[in-house]
Structure 1
Amino acid sequence: MGSLPPKKLPYLPASYFHWTVATVFGSGFSSFAPGTVGSIVSLLIIYWIFPVSIPLQLIMLLGFTALAVYSSGIVAEMTETKDPSVVVADEFVGMFATFLFFPQPLRPDLMILGLVLFRIFDIWKPWPAYKLETLPGGFGIVLDDLVAGLYAMTLLHLADWWLL
């Protein structure tokens, strides 16, 4: 299920770049739960690159979102699939949004709870996430996960304030 071969793959360096971005360094090719594996790999990457500065967090989120939309749309077009299971760049964007406004370094309890909350919202897709999923191309692939990440971020901040 996770290893979906492209139906048309031009052998250009740009296509390899988009496949690398869209699959988050190949983690989307996992044969077992590619979305969860992509989320875990994304969490590890985020742990190392997440900035302390809130303005930089927002700028990076916008940049990653734009790149994910673009690369995911190209990979979806190459595979002739609306939302290929190998594309997990949307999970990266959602996970990044989950940890917005948290200080560095991220605490292990926040990382685990954030991962769980994001996966719940990503699978559940409460409004408006399920509506955004119907958008064309990379927008429909990525924006629903961005909303799931924002829901997860909200609950994670509440949990950190009240429980952790």
Structure 2
Amino acid sequence: MGLVHRLISTCLGIGYTPKGGGSLAAALCCIVWYFAWPGGNEHFRNGVFQVLVTAFILVIGAWSAGKMEREWGEDSYRIVIDEIAGMSLTLCFVPHRWQYMVIGFLLFRFFDIAKPLGIRKMEGLGGGWGVMMDDMLAGVYSSLLLQIVVLIKPW
């Protein structure tokens, strides 16, 4: 079971990247999110399905991150499933445009790294939930700003 938690928490090994693993995981999430839509995939375009996928990533990520924290220490750089969850939340309900993916990525990384507006406090939850929830709040802020960009419709 330890191997399963390692694979989940590191997103199939991305977390072992010595520098920038979180950014790499978020960027790959954007790419997967973008390419999941073409070809008439109505299920993935459905916002409810996007939220369900994000919730699944959150729950399984909290479980695995909690297990791996015991081995690797508190909020180890190797745990990047939280970036996948937060980035997924950022992209929910966003039109299929690469420009929105890039803006969402930049917003999410800003909030995830700077941790303003109570984001850092979420780490205080401890365990897997503490690992995940700061990125989820970063995703909420990023999503709100990204939805404003979408409403302006620059593309």
Q: Offset at 1:135?
A: 1.1
Q: Indicate how the Cα distance of structure 1 residues 68 and 49 shifts in structure 2: closer, same or farther if over 3 A, else same.
A: farther
Contact 1:22 1:71 in 2 (8 A): yes
The superposition leaves residues 131-150 of structure 1 with CA deviations (integer Å, 9 ceiling, x where unpaired) of: 11111111110100001011
Counterparts in 2 of 1:51-130, with a 5 A limit?
51-79=44-72, 81-103=73-95, 106-130=96-120
Please identify, of 92-101 and 52-61, the stretch whose mean Cα deviation from structure 2 is larger: 52-61
Structure with higher helix content: 2
SS of 2:148's partner is helix
Contact 1:27 1:41 in 2 (8 A): no
Aligned residue in 2 for 1:7: none
Q: CA RMSD in A?
A: 1.4
**Percentage identity across aligned positions?**
28
Contact 2:57 2:85 in 1 (8 A): yes
Q: Indicate how the Cα distance of structure 1 residues 152 and 136 shifts in structure 2: closer, same or farther if over 3 A, else same.
A: same
C-alpha distance in 1 between matches for 2:146 and 2:50: 17
Q: How many aligned positions are there?
A: 148
Give me the TM-score of the superposition, normalised by structure 2: 0.89
Q: Offset at 1:95?
A: 0.4
The superposition leaves residues 33-61 of structure 1 with CA deviations (integer Å, 9 ceiling, x where unpaired) of: 11111211222232344611122122222
Q: Which runs of 5 or more structure 1 residues have no equivalent in the other structure?
A: 1-13
